[in-house]
């Protein structure tokens, strides 16, 4: 037997071994491996089941209200997109909501206090978001401080700065409509369009660019990523800056959604963003998950909120069920990582 024939025989045995291993997997193990490779599958299944159950209970009126759900969850999903980028690197950003509100306040104050044109004020708002994100990223990547502690601190600083700068003053909807209608650009279906466009762009970047692969690599193992040539510190700073810019976009959308500029708005944005990410199947340990899962998670929360409200149940049931979903999502993530890694 020639060397080539012996090599082909070894390959045939190897293929047979792999095929035999696949055949001996139980259905549960196959499901685990499928979910490991498709992290958005679980939230999608939960979303479809939730819509089906509430649709069966409430009938056609629930399906007619679905576009309203998209508008209600749009800001949470946009903030969730910013949170997704950070959590994929095994970090967390507790300041996303504060950055969003401060950016919206800057847009309003620069227009009405300093008399700048609305486009310039909007750019200043985006600059504010990017600056806040850079501060988070520099402290975390350059000084090696824990993301939780850093963003907990910047959340308090930005929140205080927001109230001090705005003097707790709300800019009325009528004034914006008359003098700076561009600030109210995002309303109605425009909010939904902005949400889906952002998610599509980030999905493309994360799945089809080298930068996106670097983000996943850092979350999976930053030391290994560094050894493979990834500039970990630079990418981390870029992630937090991009997160800040996305928060500024959410601030602009928030003005259109409310019609006004209020320093007290968006109080629960931090929690809502983390909730959407966790229920969406994105691992809090970093390196695994899909931004599509995040938007499914945000929609699940919206479906539960609207469905239970239409049924007439106590609002506390919504928080209870969402809490159960959060714990279940984390448990499923741990189960998938342990068995299918």
What is the Cα–Cα distance from 50 to 63, expressed in whole angstroms? 12
Q: Give the domain ranges of the chain.
A: 42-340
Q: Which two tokens stand for residue 48?
A: 């479809």
Q: What is the per-residue pLDDT across 1-20, written as a single tens digit (0 to 9) for each?
A: 554 455 455 445 545 444 44
Inter-CA distances, 272 with 83, 133, 156, 326, Å? 10, 19, 18, 11
Q: Which two tokens stand for residue 318?
A: 């919504």
Residue 49: how many CB atoms within 10 A of its CB? 12
Q: For 87, what's the count of Cα atoms within 13 Å in the CB-facing half-sphere?
A: 26
If you average pLDDT over residues 291-305, what whole number do you get? 90
- Ramachandran region, residue 266 (left: φ > 0; alpha: ψ -120 to 50; beta: rest): left
Q: What is the per-residue pLDDT across 24-74, written as a single tens digit (0 to 9) for each?
A: 677 777 776 776 677 778 888 888 988 998 889 888 888 888 888 888 899
Q: What is the per-residue pLDDT across 203-248, written as a single tens digit (0 to 9) for each?
A: 999 999 999 999 999 998 999 999 999 999 999 999 999 999 999 9
Q: Give the pLDDT score at 340.
A: 46
Q: What is the per-residue pLDDT across 94-150, written as a single tens digit (0 to 9) for each?
A: 999 999 999 999 999 999 989 899 999 999 999 999 999 999 999 999 999 999 999
What is the Cα–Cα distance from 42 to 169, expressed in whole angstroms? 43
Q: Give the pLDDT score at 11.
A: 44
If you average pLDDT over residues 78-103, what whole number do you get? 95
What is the Cα–Cα distance from 108 to 183, expressed in whole angstroms? 8
**Residue 88 scores a pLDDT above 90:** yes
> Are 292 and 42 spatial neighbours (Cβ–Cβ below 8 Å)?
no
- b/e burial code for range 54-85 (CB count within 10 A of at least 16 → b): bbeebeeebeebeeebbbbbbbbbbbbbbbbb
Residue 12: how many CB atoms within 10 A of its CB? 10
Three-class SS of the chain: CCHHHHHHHHHHHHHHHHHHHHHHCCHHHHHHHHHHHCCCHHHHHHHHHHHHHHHHHHCHHHHHCHHHHHHHHHHHHHHHHHHHHHHHCCCCCCCHHHHHHHHHHHHHHHHHCCCCCHHHHHHHHHHHHHHHHHHHHHHHHHCCCCHHHHHHHHHHHHHHHHHHHHCCCCECHHHHHHHCHHHHCCCCHHHHHHHHHHHHHHHHHHHHCHHHHHHHHHHHCHHHHHHCCCCHHHHHHHHHHHHHHHHHHHHHHHHHHHCCECCCCCCCHHHHHHHHHHHCCCCCCCCCCCHHHHHHHHHHHHHHHHHHHHHCCCHHHHHHHHHHHHHHHHHHHHHHHHHHC
What is the Cα–Cα distance from 39 to 84, expressed in whole angstroms? 13
Residue with tokens 């800057």: 106
What is the Cα–Cα distance from 160 to 157, expressed in whole angstroms? 5
Q: Give the pLDDT score at 286.
A: 84
């Amino acid at each position: 037997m020639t060397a080539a024939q012996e090599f082909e025989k070894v390959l045939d045995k190897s293929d047979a071994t792999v095929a035999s291993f696949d055949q001996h997997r139980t259905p549960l193990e196959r499901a685990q491996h499928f979910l490991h490779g498709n992290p958005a599958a679980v939230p999608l299944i939960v979303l479809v089941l939730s819509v089906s159950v509430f649709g069966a209970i409430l009938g056609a009126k629930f399906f007619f209200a679905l576009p309203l759900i998209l508008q209600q969850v749009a800001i949470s999903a946009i903030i969730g997109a910013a949170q997704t980028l950070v959590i994929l690197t095994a970090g967390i950003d507790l300041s996303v909501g504060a950055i969003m509100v401060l950016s919206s306040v800057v847009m309003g104050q620069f227009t009405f206090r300093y008399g700048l044109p609305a486009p310039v004020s909007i750019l200043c708002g985006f600059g504010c978001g990017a600056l806040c994100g850079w501060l988070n990223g520099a402290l975390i990547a350059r000084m090696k401080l824990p993301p939780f502690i850093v963003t907990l601190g910047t959340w308090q600083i930005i929140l205080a700065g927001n109230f001090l700068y705005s003097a707790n003053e709300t800019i009325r909807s009528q004034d914006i409509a008359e003098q700076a209608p561009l600030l109210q650009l995002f309303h109605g279906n425009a909010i939904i369009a902005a949400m889906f466009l952002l998610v599509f762009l980030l999905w493309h970047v994360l799945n089809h660019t080298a930068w996106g692969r670097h983000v996943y690599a850092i979350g999976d193992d930053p030391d290994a990523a560094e050894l493979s040539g990834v500039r970990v510190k630079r990418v981390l700073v870029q992630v937090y800056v991009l997160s800040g810019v996305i928060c500024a976009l959410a601030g602009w959308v928030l003005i259109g959604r409310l019609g006004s500029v209020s320093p007290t708005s968006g109080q629960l944005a931090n929690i809502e963003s983390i909730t959407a990410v966790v229920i969406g199947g994105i691992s809090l340990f970093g390196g695994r998950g899909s931004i599509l899962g995040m938007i499914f998670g945000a929609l699940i929360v919206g479906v539960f909120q609207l469905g239970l409200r239409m049924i007439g149940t106590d609002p506390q049931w919504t928080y209870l069920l969402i809490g159960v979903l959060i714990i279940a999502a984390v448990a499923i993530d741990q189960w998938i990582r342990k068995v299918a890694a």
